[in-house]
Amino acid sequence: MDHDQEPFFSPTDEPDSDLTSHEDAPAPPEIGELAGLAMEYVRRAIGFELDLTGDTLSVLDHYVGLVRDDVESRPELVAVVAPAVGAYFGELVRAVLPGFWYLRSPDPAQYYLCLRPVFLALNPVGIGYDVLSRGDDHDGPSPELLLLPEEREAVAQRLRNLPPAGHEEYYLLSTRLEVVQIAAEALRARRLSTGQQAAEYTVSEYDRQLGLDGRI
């Protein structure tokens, strides 16, 4: 996502069936551990039990806001909290869109969530860093969506057509989840409009496209 542009709201359309998540493989242990840390951090901070459902994403957004208030005096918090928040967010994405984790190395900066029916990957840890830092410079990976070059404009156009949201809303995880859903639907619509058959993208196909720095 481009930090120079204002963010976006979600559409009112219901997701199509081939973009609805189905039961998939369990998360890798590394992701499960990090997501569990996010749940523990929230439990300690505000006494709320996250349950890996979208209904509680607003609670995680509230927790992120609390951490932001402490970051100026304790900047080390970002590197501790961002991977946990990112892993939890990635699991929520996987709950609503069919996808899988691709851990390219033991470094969380190389933890990708890849969708199956359309070619779209993201680094949830990068999104964790981005929302905690409000887009300021940080040491984490990029939060940008990774798309095939020939499909970027279709997604960009879909997002440009949405009403802008304010700065604060842009750095909510709930907004980022909506953006991923919108992008996935834009890719599906492009596929249908060009007469392409339904696809099922795999690790090997993402691996061929992901460069050493995680960009396509």
Predicted TM-score (pTM) of the model is 0.85
Pick the closest to residue 115 from 170, 57, 183, 171 (CA basis).
183
Predicted local distance difference test score (pLDDT) of residue 168: 85
In this predicted structure, the answer to whether residue 3 has a pLDDT above a threshold of 60 is: no
Contact 153, 160 (CB under 8 A): no
CB 107 within 8 A of CB 141: no
Higher pLDDT, 165 or 16: 165
Q: What angle do CA 27, 71, 110 make, to 5 degrees?
A: 30
Predicted confidence (pLDDT) per residue in 77-127, tens digit: 999 999 999 999 999 999 999 999 999 999 999 999 999 999 999 999 999
Q: What is the pLDDT of residues 174-207, one digit of tens each?
A: 999 999 999 999 999 998 888 777 778 999 889 8
Asked if residues 11 and 182 have their Cβ atoms less than 8 Å apart, the reply is: yes
